[in-house]
Structure 1
């Protein structure tokens, strides 16, 4: 702080100037005269500015206003910006910059229910996930720097700041200044590298610390899955231990080193093969083969391929549906726990038929109610509506008829049992069925298509498929 005064001791007004350390701002303090001292005037202020070497971009309007206010109100006017320098523009080299939407570091807290306002913390988004072909970064051209000018008119050199210049890494490519993801996966970036990891590793399991998992690539899962949390993948899933299941889906295969526990409501689905040590109280569905090494207890297993169970395995109180056959070590137990086995059935078509039949039942109920209402009444509009519903029902029944032709997927499907099959087990092949009434050992069941019945015979060598492709990684 510096002051130039006529004579402060005589009560003259004082004008003080302070220049910021970077030389880009000058602020003034205007102190009024005391008693008969001389008031502030512009000549005095100009003299002070000259002595303090303030000459660039002076705000004369602010100065005149402060002088008038100080002299009129006899009060101190401070922190008045009286001059502003011209800041320099930095010189920035060419660089890659990640798209702004991916630079978000704070996770989305969760989805808000519009009706209740409650936050579902399972819907948190903690991973930066990109899809194949999505733009993740762009190249910014170099920025030429420009000198600045201080309030004293002195040139300020062009700054050259340190700027992150990351390179492209794994699973990304740059073309014409645009960086895109070659695969769907997790986007990782820092000052050195921009890359996409196709495999997500969850060493601590899935829970509130992760939210639901929706990932376009593969996943390796270690640790527990908390109840109510879902996993949905565009690739394969490798589960390293036994897990509780709410809902798991994978576009490719699922391999579980332990077991799958569903507590009666859990569902595991995959378009690729599924392999597990055991399953219990869970529904498992696949378009490819399913291999269960040890046991299936109170489970539902459905596949468009084969179900194969390992040696010494057991199936108790379960439902097995396989388009191309079931190969088990044993089925049922001495207590007569019911096991239903369907072979040669396309469970996807069966489900479509069931859905259509439920729609037909609902339409039939509505038609019956309308007809009851129309008895003894003349209501043309209601009659037209009844006819529309009947037409809809006929259309659905036609769809059911069309689907029935593809329900039986393979009349050559086999149900083979190496060890024992116990009473209480029911074997279905296509639309024929066989009720096991006495223990059988080492048998295979096949459909006699001409007679429309299921026949059983001693198990032949080579009936069981080789398991290498199911047991291998």
Structure 2
């Protein structure tokens, strides 16, 4: 029998980098080796192994040491920390409107009533905050505690006509209207304005603070502006549609190379021909994009049954997905991804805003310092007391704004660094005459190629199979 003090001549204990596992290994093989469970445990203790000892392995080594002469075995396993779960905001209203035509009492179907909106009433719950969940500390095999990463608190992105309760756990509508997400995910409630037909000379241009629903077409030369969403049940010609939220067009866009359809969030349409479309997030097209200029902050998705992109320039911050790109006549078609000019502009504006905030904070701090000095000397008049309260509130508001801006700057920096997500997915065929641009790199397609994905890889655009 070998005493635990002599065991270190025969065996060694090594720890993983995070001390989460201790490995047992024979450093010297001796057929006559034997040791008791107690001796082995005592040896482990002398090596600072205090937690997670695998007693069945210890027993097995004690009874059959030769089994372990040529292998390294985990003899103690600690507990990994369980990270907390981030809090989140859950919407209590459905933002997808009903798509079924309205059936009247006599059984007839009214297709003009295709868009039915989920309006909310004043005081109705719109969203609630789910708090982050706590995690659980882990433990190393040496008995030290491994701290877990706590979950992050979610924050409401507050837009127009919404109220948050005092403890910031629920958001309510301040007016009757329609819940709309605008750029950067702000939640708003906008009133709704409906046009029961075309936007033409009889209606004139529309500029509305809320959501606009048009149950007809928007004709060339007219403008529809909305702080919320724009829904068009017909089609759009060479007109200008500008929305803070999303734009949805049941028909298509035939733009005659005039006009512009621009949304803070998404543009959803069945086809685009000779059009100009800009979306803060996604452009989603069910049929085709032909000879148009398209720009999306995130993705351009044109992968329906037809799913054709031909001619023009399509730019996306992250992905372009299409069934077919280009045609057999090698029509010049440019697809660019990893292009986010809006983000570069936004980050510059945010940095400017942050500088301004810091200047204002300094002024507020100086004023507060003087008022606090006066208060300490008992020389604060009632109007100065009111001013001090106001300045303190201003300071808190500045700090909140500063936190929000810094978080957004970090978010944008991460997005700009990440060209790894930029890709062009071809579900069926890409033809010669097409040009793929990822970030600063360009690749021309010479021959028709089936089912591929273009990605950036170490200074070049490479092709992988589409799965």
TM-score (norm 2): 0.44
Greater per-residue helix proportion:
2
TM-score (norm 1): 0.44
Q: Which has the larger radius of gyration?
A: 1
